[in-house]
Amino acid sequence: MMSARLHQLILMAIRACAGRPLRALMAAVGLVIASLAYVSVAFDMTTDTGELISAKTPWRQDGAAIEAAFPQIRDSVLVVVDGQTPELAEDAAIRLSAKLAQDKAHVIGVRRPDGGAFFDQNGLLFASLPEVQDTTRRLIDAQPLLGGLAADPSLRGIAKTLDTVADGALHSPADAGRLAVPMRALSDAIDGDLAGRKTFFSWQRLFSGSTGTMAPPTRRLLMVLPRMQYGELEPGAEAVAAISTHAARLGLDGGHGVRVGITGEVPLADEEFASIREGMGVIGAVMVIAMLVCLWLATRSARSVAAILITIVAGLVITLALGLLAVGRLNLISVAFIPLFVGLGVDFGIQVAVRFNAERHGGADPLSALERMAHAIGEPLSLAAGAIFLALGAFLPTDYIGIAELGVIAGVGMVIAFVLNITLLPALLILMRPAVPAARVGWAGAAPMDAWLHRHRRSILIAFVGAMALSIMLLAWVRFDFNPLHLRNPQSPAMRELSNLMRDAERTPNTIAVLSPNAAQAAALASRLQAHPEVARAISIDSFVPEGQALKLALISDASLLLDAAVNPFDLPAPADDASTLAALTKASVSLNALADARGGELGDAARRLARSFAALAAGTPAQRAAAEHTLVPPLTLTLDKLRASLTASEITRDNLPPELVADWLAKDGRALVQVTPAGNSTDNAVLERFTRVVRAEAPRATGMPIATQEAAKTVAWAFIQAGILALVLVSGLLWLVLRSLREVAFTLAPVVLSGFLTLGTCVVIGQPLNFANIIAFPLLFGVGVAFHIYFVMAWRRGIADLLQTSLARAVVCSALATGSAFGALWFSAHPGTASMGLILMISLIWTLICALIFEPALLGPVPAGTPQAQEPD
């Protein structure tokens, strides 16, 4: 039994506080005020998921080494610019990057990893030799078209160029075959404008004609280094909002053929916190209502309910203050101490209030009722608090810092909850004087169930053993989803953009990075990795020094000589006006009709269509011609600029690479980065596992999202194995020290283990995988389960045989309902991780309650012979 000294201390605390309740209340109020004052100045919370796991783990150190060498890759925002045409995407990227570079209040820097002056000039050198040959041939073939367009980049110039081309095709049939495609494209664009439809035209697609690596991209990326507000719960929110504002002001939207998406480490972290917070008001209200209903069912007294709630709130504030003092700041997991404290604090409060009511119904005065309550449940209550403290503290030695800190705060909270339930709560019960229950507090109606449990004890045990065996067999199918992205709200903007980006094989963020001692070793490693079928490509600094430059430069030089006069005309005509444009359209329509009359087939049809389009545009209003010019001319200007730049390509060496590009791949100390992209579907966990295995075989110190997610899963799983074993040893030791019976220790822990297996089996049956969020349910399951079973074992050893008829059973059921309904409300969260945590918490509490009410009484069986029969107060 509980030591006489501890029993005496509990009685002294209850007598002191219940004897001078107002003084005890004032002392508690003073402590709460002091705690609130400390919290107001010390409160801090990080939403950085990287801080949830110890920085001392090898894979975290590998990641930190790369971030230290390349600090620009940390805390970044990725802006994805999609255009209806390559020109729209490029123009939007140019304008948005320029605007962001000017916003020093929100942006530290902007980079274009897939574009800019360097790639405009030298992009052809990165293509294969056949692709360069094809591209330069197409440009040379398009010389007549290019010359006229470059000389007069206006609607008038386009019409004049088509007039000249039509006349040439009429007299040179050999060169006419390639004209049908651009003619159809132009007529489609003009007809769309005349019909009032928004149309987008691409000259790059006309001149390229390529579908390979040289196909003009319609997606561009910006890497933005935001100015973080680390004092805020969403530190990157202002910078992300600024990016969206700039994009809107620049007209980068669907109406202008552009879509701007924002993702990356910063917005994903901010949105995760926001999605957790979303709907928390409603969920919190549901939790409170559910808890109030269950407290009312347990006590049938509004005053008792108020006393318990005041005790819980006071304990929560004090625990928060001590928790901040102990760990410095909360994280996304340690903040879960709030539902943990409330759930277990409600249990302690219900146990005290229900037993107090039972004693009051039995005829005891308030003070005597409290003393008898202490004698009846003081021992199990203190033992439950101690067991939960040890179970949560078992995470301290693990590398899962998030839950280790949760264990520290919640463990301290259990001590506070216990102390307040034998000090503040008794004082409040004396001050509030809840009415004496009119009916017996226990459940006399449960007598048939008690009798049934006694009669069918053997069958019940066999059934539960069978259920446990089945659950153990199902363990092979328990799935741990190591991908933290599956915990995020898939409908949040950053998550939608990330999912979209992951389907882009060229730009997936599911890459692996390796830090090599120098550039030469980085190039050698990239070459070895590139040979594996699981790797799509491996890039190092030397990847930006193209192979076979001599032949490619020769082809580009030949094209430049032939095209220079065409794309860089000396004499430019006077600026176009509507009259000259009207005349050019009319003349071009006549020439195109003549070509159509002379030539049939595909070219004739295309020429006839474009002739009609030009004629309709000439017959239209000046506003319609201005709209057509806006559709055709800006992309033409951009295309000509990029064409001129591409014809000035020069030899690239590592020494003449742009400094900003070098900084992305070569650290100041000479170490070099290798970036490896997976082949296949990068959203498939199996693909990522094979990819990671291959890369780490060549580079054991590799890091990146695929490695981090898999290593984090291993770290978390091992942390729970470590903590589970340690908690079992510590709690078993505590129980043995108090109970001095291995048999009774087994009686207490066996149902807890059983409910854990049953919960895992249920997860398999309903297809719910474990993840970083919902695995938190298991420490709570252990804590609540140990508490419930300790209560029953201690009552049984005191000689109470019919456990279901006792006030204890009422308290356990109401406590489980309060905790289960409160946590069940999390199931409706918009955050998938939180929702899955609510689901598993509810499942685990259901199994815990079933094991407590059915398996535990059957396991305990009849009260041992010679034990005095104890009775519940009437």
| Among the listed residues 829, 788, 873, the one whose alpha carbon sits nearest the alpha carbon of residue 346 | 788
How many other C-beta atoms are found inside a 10 Å radius of the C-beta of residue 94?
A: 16
Decide: helix, strand or coil at residue 83.
strand
Average pLDDT over residues 134-145: 85
Whether the Cβ atoms of residue 357 and residue 451 lie closer than 8 Å to each other:
no
Both tokens of 19, joined, read: 């004897």
Dihedral of alpha carbons 576, 578, 583, 587, sign: positive
Residues 6+ apart with CB under 8 A from 359: 368, 369, 370, 372, 373, 376, 873
In this structure, how many other beta carbons lie within 10 angstroms of the beta carbon of residue 829?
22
**Among the ranges 195-209, 473-487, 620-634, 832-846, which has the highest mean pLDDT value?**
620-634
Residue 92 has pLDDT above 90, yes or no: yes
Q: Which has the closest alpha carbon to 862: 784, 807, 765, 797? A: 797
Residue 480 has a pLDDT of 78
Helices (H), 57-141: 58-69, 86-102, 117-122, 129-141
Residue 818 pLDDT class (50, 70, 90 cuts) = confident
Low-confidence winner among 216-225, 485-494, 573-582 (lowest mean pLDDT)? 485-494
Q: Helical H runs in 699-741? A: 705-739
**606, containing H or E segment:** helix 601-619
792: tokens are 């029953």
Region 819-824: what's the mean pLDDT? 72
> Is residue 212 packed enough to be buried (19+ CB in 10 Å), middle (13-18) or exposed (0-12)?
exposed
- Judge whether residue 823 has pLDDT over 80: no
Helix (H) or strand (E) holding 107: strand 107-111
Sheet order of strands, 258-263 included: 107-111, 219-226, 77-83, 258-263
Average pLDDT over residues 559-583: 88
Q: Note the pLDDT of residue 3.
A: 58
Is the pLDDT at 782 greater than 60? The verdict is yes
| CA–CA gap between residue 265 and residue 63 (Å, rounded) | 14
The first and second tokens of residue 748, run together, are 């207490």
Lowest mean pLDDT among 70-84, 527-541, 855-869: 855-869
- Give pLDDT, residue 798: 81
Q: Is the pLDDT of residue 501 over 90?
A: no
- Nearest Cα residue to 308 out of 425, 416, 426, 423: 425
Residue 724 exposure: Cα atoms within 13 Å on the Cβ side: 14
**Helices marked H in 43-57:** none
- Asked whether the predicted pLDDT for residue 210 surpasses 60, the reply is no
Q: Count CB atoms within 10 A of the CB of residue 753.
A: 16
DSSP state of 78: E
pLDDT at 783 over 70: yes
Which tens digit of pLDDT belongs to each residue from 595-651?
888 877 888 899 899 999 999 999 999 999 999 999 999 999 999 999 999 999 999
- Kindly indicate the confidence band of residue 872, based on its pLDDT and cuts at 50, 70 and 90: low
Cβ of 696: how many Cβ atoms within 10 Å? Answer: 18
Count of C-beta atoms within a 10 Å radius of residue 693 = 11
How many helices and strands in the chain, by DSSP H and E? 34, 8
Tokens, residue 865: 């012979």
Which amino acid would we find at residue 753?
V
Token couple for 806: 């006792």
| Both tokens assigned to 637 | 């200007």
Q: Per-residue pLDDT for 870 more than 60?
A: no
Helix or strand run (H / E) with residue 26: helix 21-42
Give residue for tokens 């928060």.
320
pLDDT at 65 over 80: yes
| DSSP helix/strand/coil, 577 | coil
| Most confident stretch, 481-485, 569-573, 611-615, 660-664 | 611-615
pLDDT at position 2, please?
Answer: 47
In 3D space, the residue among 265, 400, 267, 415 whose CA is nearest the CA of residue 334 turns out to be: 400
What is the pLDDT at residue 175? 55
Kindly give, in sequence order, each residue whose CB lies less than 8 Å from that of residue 371, ignoring residues fewer than 6 positions away. 11, 14, 15
Mean pLDDT score of the chain, rounded to an integer? 87
* DSSP secondary structure letter of residue 616: H
Helices (H), 740-776: 742-766
Cα(165)–Cα(148) distance, rounded to whole angstroms? 9
Percent pLDDT > 90 in the chain is 42
Specify whether the CB–CB gap between 762 and 846 falls below 8 A.
no
401 token code pair = 């810092």
Is the distance from CB of 872 to CB of 800 less than 8 angstroms? Answer: yes
Residues 298/814, Cβ–Cβ less than 8 Å? yes
What mean pLDDT is predicted for residues 828-835?
74
Cβ atoms of residues 829 and 283 within 8 Å: yes
> Residue holding tokens 């709460």?
32
User: So what's the pLDDT on residue 871?
Assistant: 60
Burial of 475 (0-12, 13-18, 19+ CB in 10 A): exposed
Which pLDDT does position 554 carry in this prediction? Answer: 94
Element (H, E) at 674: strand 672-678
Mean pLDDT of 783-792: 82
Q: Which pLDDT value is given to residue 233? A: 66
DSSP state of 52: G
CB 818 within 8 A of CB 290: yes
Average pLDDT in the 170-179 region? 66
CB of 236 closer than 8 Å to CB of 269: yes
701 Cβ contact partners less than 8 Å away, ≥ 6 residues apart: 62, 65, 514, 515
The structural domains of the chain, ordered by start, are 4-49+279-483+710-860 (1.20.1640.10), 58-67+491-545+654-706 (no CATH), 77-278+552-648 (no CATH)
Distance CA 837, CA 832 (A): 8
- DSSP class per residue in 145-160: HHHHHHH--SHHHHHH
Predicted local confidence at residue 869, as pLDDT: 60
pLDDT confidence tier of residue 417, bands split at 50, 70 and 90 = very high
Which residues on adjacent β-strands are paired with residue 79?
A: 222, 262
- CA 149 to chain centroid, in Å, comes to 49
Greatest mean pLDDT range, 202-216, 377-391, 752-766: 752-766
Structural contact between residues 333 and 776, judged by C-beta atoms closer than 8 angstroms: yes
Mark 250-268 as b/e (b = at least 16 C-beta within 10 Å).
bebeeebbbbbbbbbbbbb
Point out which residues pair with 111 in neighbouring strands: 223
- β-pairing verdict for 219-226 and 258-263: unpaired
Over residues 805-817, the pLDDT tens digits come to 888 888 888 888 8
Q: What is the pLDDT confidence band of residue 176, given thresholds at 50, 70 and 90?
A: low
Whether 1 has a pLDDT exceeding 60, the answer reads: no
Residue 287 phi/psi, 5-degree rounding, is -60, -45
pLDDT at 728 over 90: no
